[in-house]
Amino acid sequence: MSSTFSPPWTPLERLDSQIKERGFAALQPADVCRWAGTEAAALNALRPDWNGLPPDEYLKDGGNYRRRRHACFVVDGQRIEQTPHRPHWQPVQYNALHGGMQRWFAPMLDRTVADPAWKGLLRALADAATALRGPQPWYIEAHQFRIDTTDGIGRPTPEGAHRDGVDLVAVFLVEREGIKGGETRVFEADGPNGQRFTLAEPWSLLLLDDPRMIHESTPIQPLGGQGGGHRDTLVLTCRAGGFQGDGVV
């Protein structure tokens, strides 16, 4: 029997200082609501959008366990602008498995990105990035993921332990259903310290100072050997100066 470890929750009032001091912070759902200026019911109203995610057609490991949508935004102060749909691109140094290729994922639904709760999440992330790096426009990529156990095992991070090549990463646990595994692991990129824990509550959050921290999530398996389980997450990456892949053709 494997043990699970509770996240080292950060009080909301210490969020910015915790990220600066330790390179990461974890927020409980109630504090995520306060952070984003919204209610739990409003965030939970977004959860059904994960039920219709289309398959990820770019998996190089031959798996069929990942579904996703993608969208990009620029947040400058209170202004939020969604960009025209664009491919997701990462250099090989950050994603050895899928880097160096333009991946055109299905766009996020209009109703999702128009929701006030969604806009609250984007503004909160941009504010956290400003507290870390200073005021400037923030280029945010949003990824809705569902990892399932239809084939017996699902891999939330098939590329392994990694950084994303951005300034700040937010990983929200949206739903866990009928699975075991999916442990979150974070490590200092240039030091010996690391931590492991399991995000289990809907809308619990991990924030990472990406240049300083390496992260991964362990594979998931179905409870009781039965298929049909899944793990839903929302990953937001926040970068200064532009999106990765600008100018790549």
Please say if the pLDDT value at position 138 is more than 80: yes
Mean pLDDT of 42-65: 93
CA distance 96 to 188: 19
Alpha-carbon distance values, 242 to 39, 121, 136, 246 (Å): 31, 20, 11, 7
CA distance 237 to 142: 7
pLDDT for residue 1: 46
Delimit the domains of the chain by residue range.
12-240
pLDDT winner (highest mean) among 100-114, 126-140, 215-229, 233-247: 126-140
pLDDT for residue 99: 60
Backbone angles phi, psi at 133, to 5 degrees: -120, -10
CATH architecture of the domain with range 12-240: Sandwich (2.60)
pLDDT for residue 158: 87
Average pLDDT taken over every residue of the chain:
93
Residues 6+ apart with CB under 8 A from 31: 9, 11, 12
- Does the pTM surpass 0.85? The reply is yes
Per-residue pLDDT of 104-116, as tens digits, reads 999 999 999 999 9
Buried b / exposed e over 200-225, threshold 16 CB at 10 Å, is eebbbbbbbbbebbbbbbbbbbbeee
Per-residue pLDDT of 168-224, as tens digits, reads 999 999 999 999 999 999 999 998 889 999 999 999 999 999 999 999 999 999 987
pLDDT for residue 128: 98
Residues 6+ apart with CB under 8 A from 189: 163, 211, 212, 213, 214
Please say if the pLDDT value at position 227 is more than 70: no
